[in-house]
Amino acid sequence: MVSSDRPRRPLPPGFGAVRHHTKDISLGVVYEHHYAPAAVRPLEQGELVEGTLRPAVCRGKVGFLFVGSKNSNTADHARCWLGHILLQELQKGSLSEVEYIAAELAPVPPQWMWHVWPPSDGETAEGGGAAFVEVCMAVGPVGIALTLSGPEAPRAHVQRVLYQYCTQEATWTPIPSAPHTGHLDKVHRTREIPAELAKQRLRGVPAPEAPSKLLTRSLEEYREVEKQVQGAVNQLEDNWHQPLQLLQQSYSRFVGMIPSPSQ
């Protein structure tokens, strides 16, 4: 984990810290659907009942594109929504570090995990280091659930932070939205990538080159080769120009030495 006392700069849209299964950490495009989540309640410092959290439902809708719990689009949008909540609270100072944990293989049903560090209070985890909270989002047929695990004090703090955007009601029945409807105006997307490519990026697999970039690069390489061929031809002409003149002069002298029939 990187120290939290460094000056913090906003990450580019969609980027987040990713902890790979190899234990390496990098910055990557984790949240391809961009949200600016709004809290539904203030941050409470009092007693909070521990338990499962669910995305808050306001007027039958959640804060992200929800097209049914069994739809893969819902899982992707829910992951991005929660990721942006964590990054948003990170910028506010309510959290000190956030890492998305990339699984080696995509879990079925969808399940996402983050390691979250609250502001340092001196508590350490087993084996040393600041104590973190494991935040797990599971998307299943019965809905979306957030569960937290970790030391009591850090876990309580992270739960209060997330509770600003969530509910603990047992009954969770948001109204699904049809894809590509007016609900999409709540989603600020600067880019959209295929689901399989997104999963490859989460696993750290290098993304293939885009067709437009491949075509542009090929054209540039063709022009460069064309310049090199033309330069070689020009150089060849320059090198053979003088010997050709000498050959022509020698031929003229040779022809001049041949006596004519009249002689």
Q: What is the mean pLDDT of each run of 10 residues along the chain (263 residues)?
A: 47 77 77 90 75 90 89 89 93 92 75 90 59 91 89 92 90 80 44 62 64 80 82 73 67 63 56
Dist CA 73 CA 202 (whole Å): 16
Domain that holds residue 146: 15-208
Classify residue 10: in a domain, yes or no.
no
How many domains, in total, are found in the chain? Answer: 2
Classify residue 197: in a domain, yes or no.
yes
- Could you tell me if 124 and 172 lie in one domain? yes
Whole-number average pLDDT of the chain: 77
- Could you tell me if 225 and 178 lie in one domain? no
- Could you tell me if 194 and 165 lie in one domain? yes
- Could you tell me if 123 and 218 lie in one domain? no
- Could you tell me if 137 and 35 lie in one domain? yes
Classify residue 1: in a domain, yes or no.
no
- Could you tell me if 132 and 236 lie in one domain? no
- Could you tell me if 234 and 174 lie in one domain? no
- Could you tell me if 169 and 222 lie in one domain? no
- Could you tell me if 43 and 161 lie in one domain? yes
pTM, two decimal places: 0.62
pLDDT in tens, 8-67: 566 777 777 788 766 778 887 888 899 999 999 888 766 666 788 999 999 899 999 998
- Could you tell me if 49 and 85 lie in one domain? yes
Q: Which of 208, 230, 254 is the last residue of a domain?
A: 208
- Could you tell me if 71 and 175 lie in one domain? yes
